[in-house]
Amino acid sequence: MLRQRLQHFSSLPPQQQLQMLNRMETWEHLTPEQKQQARQIFNQFRQLPPDRQRQVSTAVRDLRAMPPDQREKVIDSPRFRSMFSDQERGMMRGAMRLPLAPADGEEPHE
């Protein structure tokens, strides 16, 4: 199994390898509580239908590109309230609280 994972990793383009390594590095520095929260959010996310997963994922990526003070306003906006359920918006809030690695092509925010 490990050999298969290593072969898969080796077959990835260099940019994807770097993204994967960055995410592993970020995970390594999370506290046990943050890791548990990330697992809970991911498990909730996985229970969504595929089309909702895509929409929530896109929203999270867009939110992460915003300054932190603007994110909560957007999540609570009438537009997001009409587009996303309370559970989905809760997942977004939780994801925003975690110090996750930047998404593809995204610069980290301080």
pLDDT in tens, 51-67: 999 999 999 989 988 99
Is the pTM higher than 0.75? The answer reads: no
With a cut of 50, say whether residue 107 has pLDDT above it: no
Lookup result for tokens 């603007």: 70
For position 100, what pLDDT does the model report?
64
pLDDT band of 2, cuts 50, 70, 90: confident
Alpha helices (H) along the chain: 2-11, 14-28, 32-46, 50-64, 68-75, 78-83, 86-97
Residue 78 has pLDDT above 90, yes or no: yes
Per-domain boundaries in the chain: 59-95
Structure tokens at 75: 């999540």
* CA–CA distance, 32 with 101 (Å, rounded to integer): 17
Q: Report how far residue 76's alpha carbon sits from residue 64's, in angstroms, rounded to the nearest whole number.
A: 15
pLDDT range class, residue 6, cuts 50, 70, 90: confident
What amino acid is encoded at 66 in this protein?
M
**pLDDT for the residue 105:** 42
